Structure 1
Amino acid sequence: MAKASIPRFSSRLHQKLGLGTWQLGGPNIVQGKAMGWGEISEEESMSILAGALESGIQFIDTADSYGKGLSEKIVGKALQAASYPQDIIVCTKFGNVYLPDGTTGQDFSPEHLFASVKASLQRLQREHIDVLLMHSPPDNFNWAHYDRAPFEDLISQGLIRQFGVSSKSVYGAKRVMDAGFGSVIEVIYNALDRRVDEILSSHPHHAAYDIIGRVPLGSGFLSDRLLTEDPHFGEDDYRSHMADRDKNWMLEHARKLAFLADLPGGFSANALRFTFQNPIISVVIPGARSVAQVQSNVVAANLPPLSDEHIHRIEQFVPSVPDWWKPAK
């Protein structure tokens, strides 16, 4: 397994709260389909990043495909404006590509790896990338025949410090752990999808990994607003293309957790609070489309742990994910 030349990022963090920046890439329309979260101004994006950094958030997650590099550029600009950008841990991803015919594909070859790192460093205006992840390779990716030497080479050159995988699903993450690839895994974890607990927590290799919890607010379904309103997503928001059965299941089960709204901080803050308690999660990366959302996330990070009774109620009201989210037997 790869050994980073500096301590793992989890030992450098003061808190588990990070910031996801997919939303800062804007609508990102590909062949008429939204691949982002809708319009957001550069001014608002810069304010969000400034608010996060000023609040003490140290971990910023981005990717070269978020807005076709736009998110990385804005992160780079914000870090240059910050007082101590060297204290910030930046995680980015590579592998998703835009093809000449306008479609998308994936390329995890050494050639694309080196070109992607060079381009990301330029956009981020940094001399190194703290964490480089393969971006959503197939869950059945053939790790036995994938050469990790190019990643080790990038570490030896000082261009990256850790590498790993942002997994499509927890089942793909388990295969990464099985193969012992890298030292970082990014995986979905929230109150509606707790498969990390049953699939990764008991894995013999889990202690060797920094684990990033993504989608901690269930793609926005764990929000105070949706407790009383039905969701309406614009055409430039990727959630407008979600299958109805997924949206309906998430909305129904999020509302079963409405008791969290009665706790200090409100519903979203306590749903996020839940994710911080998992001992194998190193950092949690909620997105934010406003400074107010950043502030709400900071409130959640400073709340004490949920009680055992509240954890039990979450498990009771949402015992599992839908069967169609699980692999076919």
Structure 2
Amino acid sequence: MSKATSPRFSSRLHQKLGLGTWQLGGPNMVQGKAMGWGEISEEESLAILSAALEAGIQFIDTADSYGKGLSEVIVGNALQAATYPQDIMVCTKFGNVYLPDGTTGQDFSSEHLYASVKASLQRLQREHIDILLMHSPPDNFDWANYDRAPLEDLISQGLIRQYGVSSKSVYGAKRVMDAGFGSVIEVIYNALDRRVDEILGQHPNMSKYDIIGRVPLGSGFLSDRLLIEEPNFGEDDYRSHMADRDKNWMLDNARKLAFLAALPGGLSANALRFTLQNPIISVVIPGARSVNQVKSNVMASNLDALSQELIQRIEQSVPSVPDWWKPSS
């Protein structure tokens, strides 16, 4: 179906809370560098997915590169074992590849697209993919000359239902909207990084898109634990390789939002609450590394909206992202 005749997927969801599954791919080491979130057992991963489905979560976000396909396999196994009647929507991604020399690259060609969809469907054990996203193409990607026909062909075959882009940054997301490519954009949005509001919120093509809000807990920095502890990420956690100035900015500014910790649920729940109540966002996809984290996310989704006074206090406490996250021109 084309975007013109299909409903917004947000209207199909009973709640805006989804589940991200990057963490279910494990450490995902590439040339000795972690590309994932650390060790997690398949048993725990399946328990997380089961808890999410049982709680009524209908939207699962994954990618063919998470654990080199492992996340998709686990999602597929969990959905096959599920006895819940919900119409589960699965979003996956393609384009990041592992090269023979052990490095990574990107391939958005039609040949790789068709092969990726076939492989993802097999791992997910599904007949179609609800949403297929290009996975982090460069912000300056040449949309004018990219052939969309293969993606439309996959829709006509019933193999995918919508397509779009998981953007590296909100600036890349704006270029996707400028080009009118696809109907779904996945982009960072949280209490520390609210650029979606100013850069996409008033875009003339905004109404044509469903927006998936990723990293709603600021890569785990919007954590009650980190209000009193220093971060200690293991070598199998990608955050151990973050630049110090990024880690320090995230930690310092998350602590400026400590007043949210005094509210029911604590800092994490209320940071998630902030993201969930933004009308621009169709669905929010926090990850979870335990069943308790799933329960905390569900609890946050059931809280009343933050007051306008609290929203203003968040905006005043962290008025903007650091300059080095912004374009140089």
Q: When the two structures are superposed, what TM-score results if normalisation uses the length of structure 1?
A: 0.98
The one-letter amino acid of 2:172's match is G
Deviations 1:171-210 (A, max 9, x none): 0000000000000000000000000011000001111100
CA RMSD of aligned residues (A): 1.1
Q: Where does the alignment leave 5 or more consecutive residues of structure 1 unmatched?
A: none
After TM superposition, give the deviation of residue 84 of structure 1 in Å.
Answer: 4.2
Cα distance between partner residues in 2 of 1:121 and 1:127: 6
After TM superposition, give the deviation of residue 20 of structure 1 in Å.
Answer: 0.1
Q: Please tell me whether residue 30 in structure 1 is matched to residue 30 in structure 2.
A: yes
Q: Which residue is equivalent to 2:74?
A: 74
After TM superposition, give the deviation of residue 8 of structure 1 in Å.
Answer: 2.7
Q: Which residue is equivalent to 2:280?
A: 280
Q: Which residue is equivalent to 1:46?
A: 46
Q: Which residue is equivalent to 1:218?
A: 218
Q: Which residue is equivalent to 1:142?
A: 142
Q: Tell me the secondary structure at the aligned position of residue 162 of structure 2.
A: strand
Q: Please tell me whether residue 127 in structure 1 is matched to residue 127 in structure 2.
A: yes
Identity of aligned residues (%): 86
Cα distance between partner residues in 1 of 2:296 and 2:86: 25
Deviations 1:232-280 (A, max 9, x none): 0000000000000000000000000000001111110000000011111
Q: 1:86 to 1:158 in 2, by over 3 A?
A: farther
Say whether the 8 Å CA contact 1:4–1:155 is kept in structure 2.
no
Q: Which residue is equivalent to 2:318?
A: 318
After TM superposition, give the deviation of residue 162 of structure 1 in Å.
Answer: 0.3
Say whether the 8 Å CA contact 1:138–1:172 is kept in structure 2.
yes
Q: Which residue is equivalent to 1:165?
A: 165
Which shifted more, 86-95 or 25-34? 86-95
After TM superposition, give the deviation of residue 3 of structure 1 in Å.
Answer: 2.1
Equivalent residue runs for 1:50-199 within 5 Å: 50-84=50-84, 87-199=87-199
Which shifted more, 262-271 or 72-81? 262-271
The one-letter amino acid of 1:70's match is L
After TM superposition, give the deviation of residue 4 of structure 1 in Å.
Answer: 7.0
The one-letter amino acid of 1:55's match is A
After TM superposition, give the deviation of residue 7 of structure 1 in Å.
Answer: 2.6
Deviations 1:61-107 (A, max 9, x none): 00000000000000000000012477100000000000000000000
Say whether the 8 Å CA contact 1:2–1:183 is kept in structure 2.
no
Q: Where does the alignment leave 5 or more consecutive residues of structure 2 unmatched?
A: none
Q: 1:5 to 1:30 in 2, by over 3 A?
A: farther
Q: Tell me the secondary structure at the aligned position of residue 72 of structure 1.
A: helix
Say whether the 8 Å CA contact 2:54–2:84 is kept in structure 1.
no
Say whether the 8 Å CA contact 1:62–1:93 is kept in structure 2.
yes
The one-letter amino acid of 2:33's match is K
Deviations 1:205-225 (A, max 9, x none): 111100000000000000110
The one-letter amino acid of 1:328's match is S
After TM superposition, give the deviation of residue 51 of structure 1 in Å.
Answer: 0.1
Cα distance between partner residues in 1 of 2:218 and 2:4: 31
Cα distance between partner residues in 2 of 1:158 and 1:42: 31
Count of residues paired in the alignment: 329
Say whether the 8 Å CA contact 1:24–1:71 is kept in structure 2.
yes
After TM superposition, give the deviation of residue 11 of structure 1 in Å.
Answer: 1.1
Q: Tell me the secondary structure at the aligned position of residue 67 of structure 2.
A: coil
Which shifted more, 83-92 or 214-223? 83-92
Q: 1:266 to 1:38 in 2, by over 3 A?
A: same
Cα distance between partner residues in 1 of 2:323 and 2:89: 36
Q: 1:86 to 1:301 in 2, by over 3 A?
A: closer
Say whether the 8 Å CA contact 1:5–1:155 is kept in structure 2.
no
The one-letter amino acid of 1:135's match is H
Which shifted more, 4-13 or 218-227? 4-13
Q: When the two structures are superposed, what TM-score results if normalisation uses the length of structure 2?
A: 0.98
Cα distance between partner residues in 2 of 1:8 and 1:313: 32
Cα distance between partner residues in 1 of 2:228 and 2:201: 34
